[in-house]
């Protein structure tokens, strides 16, 4: 079978569509931000990667302790992938698995003092990095941007939860 090469005109039409598509632009922006953040969070001074840092942040936001299944749900990850993250964090001494006081069959993941220090250190660096990233915007633009990001986050989270609920029901 002979392979055909599309004309420059057809390629140009698709390129214009890609450049004007909101979701494509958002996905590209998310990829750029992830790469930019990974460069910072892969910094040996920070100690952990982006996913591990997110897990620590969720623990802090939930009084320092969560069940692994709750952490997986909050991070929209599988239990298997969260187990690997918890294993790594535990090996680094940033979290500790503990049996639940009410039901010893249940395991809780608790942040350690070292984990709390990790979050404090990473947060101060993230604030500085965020200031650098957002320096191209004035105060009004920053507020409008962050309001839009929060709105998108709520929409995406609701959509993910609905899909997870649908897959759990099947």
Per-residue pLDDT tens for 14-60? Answer: 888 887 788 888 888 888 888 887 776 555 566 678 889 999 999 99
Spatial distance between the Cα atoms of 164 and 68, rounded to a whole number of angstroms: 16
Q: Rounded mean pLDDT of 144-166?
A: 89
Both tokens of 57, joined, read: 């942040």
- Whole-model pTM: value is 0.75
Architecture of domain 42-135: Orthogonal Bundle (1.10)
């Amino acid at each position: 079978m002979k392979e055909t090469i599309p004309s420059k005109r057809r390629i140009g039409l698709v390129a214009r569509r890609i450049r004007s598509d909101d979701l494509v632009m958002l996905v590209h922006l998310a990829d750029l931000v992830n790469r930019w953040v990974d460069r910072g969070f892969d910094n040996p001074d920070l100690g952990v990667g982006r996913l591990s840092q997110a897990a620590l942040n969720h623990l802090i936001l939930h009084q320092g302790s969560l069940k692994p299944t709750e952490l997986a749900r909050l991070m929209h990850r599988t239990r298997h992938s969260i187990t690997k993250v918890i294993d790594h964090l535990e090996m680094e001494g940033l979290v500790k698995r503990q049996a639940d006081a009410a039901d010893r069959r249940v395991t809780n993941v608790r942040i350690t003092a070292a984990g709390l220090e990790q979050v404090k250190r990473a947060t101060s660096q993230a604030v500085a990095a965020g200031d650098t990233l957002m320096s191209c915007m004035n105060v009004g633009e920053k507020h409008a941007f962050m309001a839009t990001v929060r709105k998108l986050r709520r929409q995406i989270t609701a959509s993910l939860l609905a899909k997870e609920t649908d897959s759990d029901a099947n």
